[in-house]
């Protein structure tokens, strides 16, 4: 053999290695000998892409048709119907760009790109409306150009995790939402009302994972629930008409003793007996335990809505149409109506229903809804 001492790049072997010397043999080299010469690890084929720099691509992390998908591993994500990687596994992909792609995209259900350079993926996080930069152009997104949020006007209520907007009667392209703000309802893919379409697929722009992110297919999906004391105010998961001044909607209603320790079903049955389509909760914790009102749409359709936190008792009790002394941690500070006693603690929310406060009434449809009512009350004050 003859050793050539000059540095050379090995072009003929379709490899991406630079070697300091080349040996010329008078026989055909075996694959193992060629690999050894150019520094390719045993078991890696010649010209393997593993020798080049990894390339970013869209990585599929979720297919959603509900708010409570099954948590699966990366190897299962392509074959399941309503599933996602765990939040930790998604964040481990170290991405800065997310693609929200309706299963049946159209002009009214567009593919939207969200900037995650300053965010983490948190499927239970309640975020401010219009706070996540977005664009409809993949070219712009890959170049780091966004700005859709700067001209969005539907910014009245918070959304879940990320989204374009949420305002009276409308939710736009959002991971999740709830009546008048929060989490609890499934992704919205449209631009008007609350359109779910056929669901959505979510991708992140990331380097391919070298090993599948750790996730247990049998683990429970992340759900939004209070993690502190029972007196904290979890996000309402029922679809509300809104929070109103008690006197504007006919008073607090009837003081009832909850049957089977369930104030919501007690009020629902009471209003069904009266043939009224709407029920309300006021001043939880006074008298027998709850005030239940029954209504028709005319009782509240022309009234001004109050912020929903007022109906969770997060303001010092006052008959004025303003919130003074608001809690800074979401706890109930209304001592006049301390919350319904569930046997162990005073609670402001029961099974997703806000139970009202002093001079404040939260109204719900008697019928259990799965999306926002079509009637939208007067916009809430700032």
Buried b (16+ CB within 10 A) or exposed e, 232-251: bbbbbbbbbbbbbbbebbbe
Strands 83-84, 70-71: pairing is parallel
Confidence at 123, pLDDT banded by 50, 70, 90? very high
Q: Once rounded to an integer, what is the mean pLDDT over residues 283-294?
A: 81
Asked if residue 163 has pLDDT above 90, the reply is yes
State residue 141 phi and psi, 5-degree precision: -60, -45
Percentage of the residues of the chain whose pLDDT score is greater than 90: 40
Lowest mean pLDDT among 61-70, 220-229, 258-267, 349-358: 220-229
Is residue 340 within 8 Å of residue 284, measured between CB atoms? yes
Calculated CA dihedral for residues 169, 174, 179, 180, nearest 10 degrees: -80
Please tell me the predicted confidence (pLDDT) of residue 225.
33
Q: How far from the centroid of its chain's Cα atoms is residue 237's Cα?
A: 13
Q: What pLDDT does 256 receive?
A: 80
Q: Of 319, 254, 311, 325, which Cα lies nearest the Cα of 288?
A: 254
Closest CA to 340 of 274, 287, 269: 287
Predicted confidence band of residue 283 (pLDDT cuts 50, 70, 90): confident
pLDDT at 16: 42
- What percent of the chain clears pLDDT 70, i.e. is strictly above it? 73
Mean pLDDT of 39-62: 65
Please, where are the H alpha helices in 182-312? 263-274
- Token couple for 36: 């050894």
Q: What is the arithmetic mean of pLDDT over 110-114?
A: 96
pLDDT score of 290: 80
Tokens in use for 63? 């297919």
Please state the separation of Cα 349 from the chain's center in Å: 20
What is residue 6's predicted lDDT score, i.e. its pLDDT? 41
pLDDT band at 133 (very low <50, low <70, confident <90, very high): very high
For residue 25, give Cα distances in angstroms to 6, 22, 363: 16, 10, 87
Q: Say which residue the tokens 């002093």 belong to.
A: 358
Average pLDDT score over residue span 22-29: 57
- pLDDT at res. 259: 85
Computed over every residue of the chain, the mean pLDDT equals: 78
pLDDT for residue 4 is more than 70 = no
Using the predicted structure, report yes or no on whether residue 382 has a pLDDT greater than 50.
Answer: no
pLDDT digits (tens, 9 = 90+) for 165-213: 999 889 999 999 998 888 999 999 999 888 998 899 999 999 755 444 4
d(CA 49, CA 40): 12
Cα distances (Å, whole numbers) of residue 311 to 77, 234, 252, 353, 361: 41, 12, 12, 10, 6
Per-residue pLDDT for 235 more than 60?
Answer: no
With a cut of 90, say whether residue 240 has pLDDT above it: no
Residue 64 has a pLDDT of 95
Model-wide pTM > 0.75: no
pLDDT in tens, 68-96: 999 999 999 998 989 999 999 999 999 99
What are the beta bridge partners of residue 4?
A: 22
DSSP 43-59: TPPTT-GGGSPP--EEE
Task: Reply yes or no on whether the pLDDT at 332 is more than 90.
Answer: no
């Amino acid at each position: 053999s003859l050793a050539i001492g000059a540095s050379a790049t090995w072009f003929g072997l379709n490899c991406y290695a630079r070697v300091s010397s080349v040996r010329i043999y008078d026989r055909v080299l075996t694959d193992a000998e060629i690999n050894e010469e150019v520094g390719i690890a045993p078991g890696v084929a010649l010209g393997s892409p593993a020798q080049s720099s990894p390339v970013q691509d869209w990585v599929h992390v979720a297919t959603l048709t509900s708010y409570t998908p099954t948590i699966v591993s990366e190897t299962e994500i392509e074959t399941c119907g309503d599933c996602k990687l765990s939040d930790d596994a998604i964040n481990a992909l170290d991405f800065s760009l997310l693609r929200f792609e309706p299963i049946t995209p159209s002009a009214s259900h567009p593919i939207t790109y969200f900037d995650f350079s300053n965010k983490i993926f948190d499927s239970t996080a309640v975020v401010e409306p219009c706070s996540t930069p977005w664009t409809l152009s993949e070219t712009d997104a890959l170049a780091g150009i966004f700005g859709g949020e700067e001209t969005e006007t539907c910014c009245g209520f918070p959304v879940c995790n990320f989204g374009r907007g949420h305002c009276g009667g409308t939710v736009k392209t959002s991971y999740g939402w709830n009546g008048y703000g929060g989490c609890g309802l499934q992704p919205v893919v449209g631009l008007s009302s609350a359109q779910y379409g056929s669901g959505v697929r979510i991708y992140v722009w990331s380097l391919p994972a070298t090993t599948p992110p750790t996730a247990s297919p049998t683990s429970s999906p992340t759900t939004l629930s209070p993690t502190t004391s029972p007196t904290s105010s979890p996000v309402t998961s029922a679809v509300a008409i809104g929070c109103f001044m008690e006197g504007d909607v006919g008073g607090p209603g009837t003081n009832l003793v909850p049957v089977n320790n369930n104030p919501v079903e007690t009020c629902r049955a009471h209003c069904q007996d009266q043939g009224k389509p709407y029920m309300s909760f006021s001043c939880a914790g006074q008298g027998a335990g709850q005030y239940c009102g029954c209504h028709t749409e005319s009782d509240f359709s022309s009234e001004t809505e109050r912020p929903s936190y007022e109906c969770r008792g997060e303001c010092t009790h006052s008959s004025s149409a303003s919130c003074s002394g608001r809690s800074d941690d979401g706890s109930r500070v209304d001592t006049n109506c301390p919350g319904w006693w569930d046997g162990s603690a005073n609670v402001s929310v029961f099974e997703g229903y806000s139970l009202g406060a002093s001079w404040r009434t939260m109204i719900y449809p008697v019928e259990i809804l799965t999306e926002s009512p079509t009637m939208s009350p007067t916009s809430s004050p700032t």
